[in-house]
Structure formats: structure tokens, C-alpha cells
């Protein structure tokens, strides 16, 4: 990974960690049972800090590691 790619990745992580300042979406909750890796069946995503609503995203398949 180049320094530029790593910088972009870190900027994205920080923008989501500081969503109240940047206005980007963030995970605001979860629902359902968790699998063996701790991933819930559903997550709630808030479109921006301070919004009254959220979207629900549902897991369609179990976690699968990439094959190398």
C-alpha cells in the first residue's frame, strides 16, 4: 500500500470516528443474534450526526474469508 492510499484510508476512518464534526454516516446500533465472530444480523446506519432516523442493513450471508 502506498503512502497516498494509506493516507486516504486513515482520513476515511477519522471522518467516521468524528461524524459529529464531519457529517458523514456512521453505525448507530445493531439488532439480532450475533454469529461466532460477533457480527450482528442487522446494523443501523445513521446518515448524519443529529438525524432522527436510520437505515437498517441486514446480513445476507455468513462471513467468508478471501481465498489466497
Task: Write the pLDDT tens digit of every residue in 9-49.
Answer: 999 999 999 999 999 999 999 999 999 999 999 999 999 98
Cβ 34 vs Cβ 44: under 8 Å = no
- The reply to whether 66 falls in a domain is no
Residue 48 belongs to what domain range?
Answer: 3-58
pLDDT at position 67 over 90: no
Comparing CA positions, the residue from 57, 62, 63 lying closest to residue 44 is: 57
CA distance 7 to 44: 27
Q: In the prediction, which pLDDT does 4 show?
A: 96
pLDDT at position 65 over 90: no
- The reply to whether 65 falls in a domain is no
Domain count, the chain: 1
- The reply to whether 63 falls in a domain is no
Amino acid at each position: 500500500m502506498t503512502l497516498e492510499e494509506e493516507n486516504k484510508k486513515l482520513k476515511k476512518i477519522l471522518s467516521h470516528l468524528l461524524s459529529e464534526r464531519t457529517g458523514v454516516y456512521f453505525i448507530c446500533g445493531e439488532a439480532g443474534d450475533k454469529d461466532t465472530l460477533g457480527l450482528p444480523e442487522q446494523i443501523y446506519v445513521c446518515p448524519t450526526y443529529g438525524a432522527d432516523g436510520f437505515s437498517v442493513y441486514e446480513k445476507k450471508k455468513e462471513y467468508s474469508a478471501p481465498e489466497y
